[in-house]
Structure 1
Amino acid sequence: MMGKGLFIAAGLAVSAGVVIAAEPPPIEQFIKRDTFTNIKISPDGRHYAATVPQGDDKTVLAVLDRQTLKITGLMQMRGKEHIAGFEWVSDERLVVTPMIRDGALAKPVPTGELYAVNADGSETRTLFSFRKGGGGLGSNIRSSGSEAASAHVLHYMPDRNNQILIQVVPWGSEAPINEVRRLNVRTGASTRVVRAPGPFADFVVDRQGNVRLSVGSTSAHVQKIHRRPVSGGDWVLIHDEAAAGFRLNVLGFEDDSRHVLVGRGQAQGADALYRWDIEDNTFSRISEPGVADPSGLLYGIEFGSPYAVISHPDRPVLHYLDPERRESRLTRSLAEAFPGQFAYPTSFTRDGSLALVHVISDRNPGEFYLFDLATMRATYIAGTREWIDPEKMATSRPISLKARDGTDLHGYLVIPAGVEARNLPLVVLPHGGPHGIRDYWMFDPESQLIASRGYAVLRLNFRGSGGYGRQFEVAGYRQWGGAMQDDVADAVRWAVAEGLADRGRVCIYGGSYGGYTALMNPARNPDMYKCAVGYVGVYDLPLMFQDGNVRRTQFGREYLGMVLSGSDLQDFSPVNHASRISIPVFLIHGAQDSQVPITHSERMRAALRKAGNDPQWLVERAEGHGFYTERARLGLYTQLLDFLDRHIGTRATASSP
């Protein structure tokens, strides 16, 4: 249930200076569930709705009266199920999406179902479900039947009473042909609007709710985009990546429903922002390519009307489509009011009088304010983790460096609060994925926990990461154990050369592909690290083609073929280089992991033992690809911090500068 202290009308308290506690914050402070995961204001401004975690096993939807802050409605799924997301589709009606914890993964995943509820908790209905008898809400709830498919909301159609557009993905095919349906959120009745022209296609809808674009790809991962007239009709191919020589990242339609904002791939470097006339199939450049790709849109008061494009070169950066537009001026004012943070409106009331503003930074896990556009005053609503004091958190410093072959690399160095960034013990934290994934400047609880113990944390977006242009991502293909590893090692050498890190106190820790790097990098650079921690890691690359759920789908097999085939899988497998890893190793895995089966860790453990290096070992029988429960994560981080302390921390002998 939502506590009385969740919503508080108060100003933001700012400490006079940094205070370093005699003892670091407890681990629980960093692994505790958020008080809420999202808040949205209703179109008429009368209500807030928020998703509120109830421990590990449930997340509920609570609706509050904005004036009294009293709960007017509550919705929860049956059993150990969560509400993942929600949207106001009218002043009184919400559509919600549930999620279930899959043992194979670290956290709950959406089920592909849709439900609706009124702000007062009444008229709950199953709109789309694969389960019979009301799905996850119980048999007494009205249901529209079951279907072997998944769905998500495409468009809310505010000018068409109770109507939304959904994208439906049928099950039972390795190459599904998706479709769009119009769905009544009161009755659950739906009608097909259009089917995709090919498999694996997503749809793009204009402001008026017309399905205009289908964005898909061939089995060889070649992008194909089709256009459809406003009045409906047949699909027409208007972009073929193979013929055009570039890929498009479709961000969304502008107000005229003819021009689309896209990130267009360049021969080198990040995507540039373009305006695409889909009728004439012509492009006009809006801005020159920067360090990072355009990644998303901010929408204004009018439904579906974008006013800014966001990118993440280091900290978030906005490109205003019309700098003098009301929402643009407001967002610039917010930047001045919250210096050093990213403050932006997430939603507006229909009349444009109120906006819900999200404020976040590398040190602030997230706060929401209600902004009155008439008085230009912001009222604090709530923080997602109010027990976190941003002034006592570590700073995430953007970094850039050259790899040994001249490639530009970017990332972040997390510096403990109140500590000079000089000769610090360093924990290298490579991200998972690896392709299309990247690290961001925003608050990262794991990095903050490690930094709270006095370590600097290196988070590098090595080649293969997303967000820096298609060529940068492709440069990591078939280089898992090659150039991608060189990038990480080059970043460590850079941090030491800059005097930021103590070369004698460096440890590497990562999960999934990051766990692979945590063992492969010490194998390639035996004198660089004092210890290594692999968490649900990939250690035997040929096994990726034989076991695990990645290879069980056509898409997964094509992915493995694209990013790994052609490389020397044996030589790129850490399990075959155990004799080169003489430092202390800690292996962590979930027994239920079907993404990267525990066999990987078992083989790595056996190889290290054979080489005379018996690793520390932690297995959670009920966890999957990453630990989810607070109990399991508390055990993981307790052992991890102890391991780091023994080898590069207070109990280790520091090297000479």
Structure 2
Amino acid sequence: MASHPLFRSLALATAALLSVDGHAADAAPAVASFFDTPQVSQAELSPKGGYVAITTLLPGGVQALAVRDTSDLSKVTVLAKTAIERATITSIHWINDHRVGFTVKNLDNEFEGNLDEFAIDRNGDNRVHLIAGSWGHQQKQIGSNMVNRTLTAEYAYHGVTHDGSDDILVERYMWNNTDLAPDHSRLMRLNTRTQSLRSAFDGTQPPAVHAWFTDGNDVPRVVTSQVKGHCIASYRNVDDTSWTEISNGVCYQDQRFVPLFFDGADTLYVRANYKGYAALFRYKLKTMKMDAEPFVETPGYDFDGVPEVDRATRKLLGIHLRTDAGTTAWLDPAMKAEQARIDAALPGAINTVHCAQDCAASPVLLIASNSDRQPLQFILYTRASGAMIGLGGVHPDLKPAEMGRRSFHRYTARDDRSIPVYVTLPAAKVGGPQPAVVLVHGGPMVRGGAWEWDAEAAFLASRGYVVIQPEFRGGTGFGADHFRAGWKQWGGTMQDDLADAARWAAKQGWADPRRVAIMGASYGGYATLMGLIKDPAVFRCGVEWAGATDIKLRFTSTESDASKETLGYSLRLLVGDPDNAADAAMMRQNSPLLRAAELKQPLLMAHGLKDLRVPIEHANSFAAAVKAHNPNVTSIIYNDEGHGWRHPENRIAFWKQVETFLDQHLKHAE
């Protein structure tokens, strides 16, 4: 079929892909250039590499799923379209060389599930609506015809099979009588043409299964569960109808290992502690023993990686890793050599190279390339010639020269603990200390970021701010001791790390100590409020969104999506036990709600009415309490949002508000 105008003239000159010569433009890029829906958000090679599927925006703001012939990219078939303000395609996956699956999320539904699943032939024929999520029988967005065999929202896509069939793997969720989220799931096999459904294995399964791991034949072999604070891994032989525990320990404390993936040769790989950091180990299922030495270790960082597997040869080709930034450890010499050629052509970037399922037969490779100044873009690499053609990127309007440089450092907190931190400097070259923002990640039991381009940090830096992103204690990714040091430290040493980061940045000559703001979402929103209360001499103003405003309310809110397992075990271990007198006193002392009268600085706060993670009562209670003593508080409620901003128009409007707020209360403050 004829190509759409959008898909013409997409070839990029290799030398220009990551050019950062020249100076930043006088006018800062528009807010929408950072926070609008990505132009090209996903790309996936077909099993033999003859085609590439991408999600992209058509003129008028309509998202499309398109398939392009990798031997002639002008040959394009548009398979599906969806109105982006209502829904978005969150995942694309090749079922076989002739059939593509894709997942659609209703943006108006806060619950993480309720995903619609479709399958369609690459020529546009035989579209089937496999799972009807929250759209139900009202689904009109992409022109599907509902049939009686369409599954309900209690099912969700899990993964493809690799046997050339039309089957995919789906999870069937089951609920208890208490929690909003599913209690457990069972893995099923679904034919995407006939819609026939059957169990992926015979027999029973362990209780409270939340994660499934399949072998090289896509047969479920390992599951993980969480029961009464214990993290459990169980295993079955291919023909067994029962399961055997291979690991059982108190979560976060004494669990032996965490299963991660099987390679094509039926070897299980697990993450376990090694010299204080998580490393990757082989686990021998026949002997039920883990190797004594790690397969991959990343000293100074917890192992964080995903495998690249050739499904045809069942060979593990390499592992894509993250330390301070992304990299790939190739085991396959041919792929290692191709990586070197690609890196030479695209210097200064993290070039993550993906092969088709049948890697040896694929004529092309797919490159996901970005840097600290270059948002993610997708590039097709022809192996025979070395030619590269750009498929598009997430935010093509942004130019590297307009972005600030990011760097990784470590600073010493007041108790001598070393804290990792990312710093983004303004793109424009200016002399002397500049206004700064301490940007606090959510979680908090996660890793915050990496060296690669970050939309929020890049936006703030484009407005002239130094952006400081501490990997404070209690986060993951930097060793077991760093993680454990933050247990029950909400408002305590975790909070001190943020003030110490601001002081450290001032000592480096980057940040003006009189003009430092604090901001963040979720836990970062909590930390923003506590930072303004606890360290008024450090933080001049703050912006928080979707933030918890009272620790105890996390346990008592009837609107929260926290499970009884989380409330009964995880939160009590990591945050505090409200039934313990000392913990209860700590939680009262470190409650922004109970100390709202102490917050005197300007504050911008925003929450989603449909938030289940941090229900709206957090925002309403705190807004009422702080406004009684502080006239410089602006509170925004987005009626169609949950825990974060799914709708692009809300993201853009919010960050415009942030820009105006910081311009008034930070940049030009006396």
Report if aligned partners of 2:308, 2:320 keep a CA contact under 8 Å in 1.
Answer: no
CA spacing shift, 1:118–1:373, aligned 2, 3 Å: same
TM-score where L is the length of structure 2: 0.88
- Deviation of the 1:413 alpha carbon: 0.4
Partner of 1:607: 625
Greater Cα offset, 404-413 or 525-534: 404-413
Partner of 2:616: 598
Residues 232-631 of structure 1 correspond to what in structure 2 (within 5 A)? Answer: 232-242=240-250, 245-257=254-266, 259-266=267-274, 268=276, 270-284=277-291, 285-303=294-312, 305-320=315-330, 322=331, 324-348=332-356, 350=358, 351-419=361-429, 422-547=432-557, 549-550=559-560, 553-558=563-568, 559-566=570-577, 567=583, 568-631=586-649
Query: Secondary structure at the residue paired with 2:458?
Result: helix
Report if aligned partners of 2:233, 2:259 keep a CA contact under 8 Å in 1.
Answer: no
Kindly provide the amino acid, as one letter, of the partner of residue 118 in structure 1: D
- Deviation of the 1:116 alpha carbon: 1.0
Report if aligned partners of 1:508, 1:531 keep a CA contact under 8 Å in 2.
Answer: yes
Q: 1:152 aligns with which of 130, 152, 157?
A: 157
- Deviation of the 1:415 alpha carbon: 0.8
Partner of 1:203: 212
Report if aligned partners of 1:58, 1:82 keep a CA contact under 8 Å in 2.
Answer: no
- Deviation of the 1:241 alpha carbon: 2.6
- Deviation of the 1:55 alpha carbon: 9.4
Partner of 1:117: 120
Report if aligned partners of 2:113, 2:153 keep a CA contact under 8 Å in 1.
Answer: no
Q: 2:196 aligns with which of 189, 195, 216?
A: 189
C-alpha distance in 2 between matches for 1:412 and 1:318: 21
User: For residues 301-350 of structure 1, what are the alpha-carbon distances to aligned partners after superposition, in whole Å with 9 as ceiling and x for unaligned?
Assistant: 44564322333221113333x2x532232223323332221112223263
- Deviation of the 1:554 alpha carbon: 2.2
C-alpha distance in 2 between matches for 1:103 and 1:250: 31
C-alpha distance in 2 between matches for 1:171 and 1:148: 12
- Deviation of the 1:5 alpha carbon: 4.7
User: For residues 520-540 of structure 1, what are the alpha-carbon distances to aligned partners after superposition, in whole Å with 9 as ceiling and x for unaligned?
Assistant: 012111211111122222112
- Deviation of the 1:560 alpha carbon: 3.3
Query: Secondary structure at the residue paired with 1:209?
Result: coil
Instruction: Number of aligned residue pairs: give it.
Output: 643
Query: Secondary structure at the residue paired with 2:74?
Result: coil
Q: 1:176 aligns with which of 161, 168, 183?
A: 183
Query: Secondary structure at the residue paired with 1:123?
Result: coil
- Deviation of the 1:429 alpha carbon: 0.6
Kindly provide the amino acid, as one letter, of the partner of residue 657 in structure 2: Q
Report if aligned partners of 1:182, 1:191 keep a CA contact under 8 Å in 2.
Answer: yes
- Deviation of the 1:459 alpha carbon: 1.0
Does residue 24 (structure 1) correspond to residue 28 (structure 2)? The answer is yes
Give structure 2 stretches of 5+ with no counterpart. Answer: 578-582
Greater Cα offset, 518-527 or 582-591: 582-591
- Deviation of the 1:199 alpha carbon: 0.6
Greater Cα offset, 363-372 or 311-320: 311-320
C-alpha distance in 2 between matches for 1:516 and 1:618: 16
User: For residues 563-596 of structure 1, what are the alpha-carbon distances to aligned partners after superposition, in whole Å with 9 as ceiling and x for unaligned?
Assistant: 3333322211112223433322222233343432
C-alpha distance in 2 between matches for 1:515 and 1:509: 7
Greater Cα offset, 5-14 or 449-458: 5-14
Report if aligned partners of 1:436, 1:466 keep a CA contact under 8 Å in 2.
Answer: yes
Does residue 647 (structure 1) correspond to residue 665 (structure 2)? The answer is yes
- Deviation of the 1:485 alpha carbon: 0.3
C-alpha distance in 1 between matches for 2:395 and 2:165: 37
Report if aligned partners of 2:249, 2:255 keep a CA contact under 8 Å in 1.
Answer: yes
C-alpha distance in 1 between matches for 2:150 and 2:411: 56
Report if aligned partners of 1:360, 1:367 keep a CA contact under 8 Å in 2.
Answer: yes
- Deviation of the 1:289 alpha carbon: 4.6
Query: Secondary structure at the residue paired with 2:295?
Result: strand
Kindly provide the amino acid, as one letter, of the partner of residue 26 in structure 1: A
C-alpha distance in 2 between matches for 1:111 and 1:120: 27
Partner of 1:88: 94
C-alpha distance in 2 between matches for 1:555 and 1:59: 38
Q: 1:212 aligns with which of 215, 221, 233?
A: 221
Report if aligned partners of 1:97, 1:110 keep a CA contact under 8 Å in 2.
Answer: no
Query: Secondary structure at the residue paired with 2:351?
Result: strand
Give structure 1 stretches of 5+ with no counterpart. Answer: none
Query: Secondary structure at the residue paired with 1:565?
Result: coil
TM-score where L is the length of structure 1: 0.90
Kindly provide the amino acid, as one letter, of the partner of residue 331 in structure 1: Q
Does residue 126 (structure 1) correspond to residue 129 (structure 2)? The answer is yes
Partner of 1:64: 68
Report if aligned partners of 2:50, 2:363 keep a CA contact under 8 Å in 1.
Answer: no
- Deviation of the 1:430 alpha carbon: 0.2
CA spacing shift, 1:2–1:49, aligned 2, 3 Å: farther
C-alpha distance in 2 between matches for 1:185 and 1:7: 35
- Deviation of the 1:100 alpha carbon: 0.9
- Deviation of the 1:204 alpha carbon: 0.9
C-alpha distance in 2 between matches for 1:402 and 1:616: 35
Partner of 2:580: none
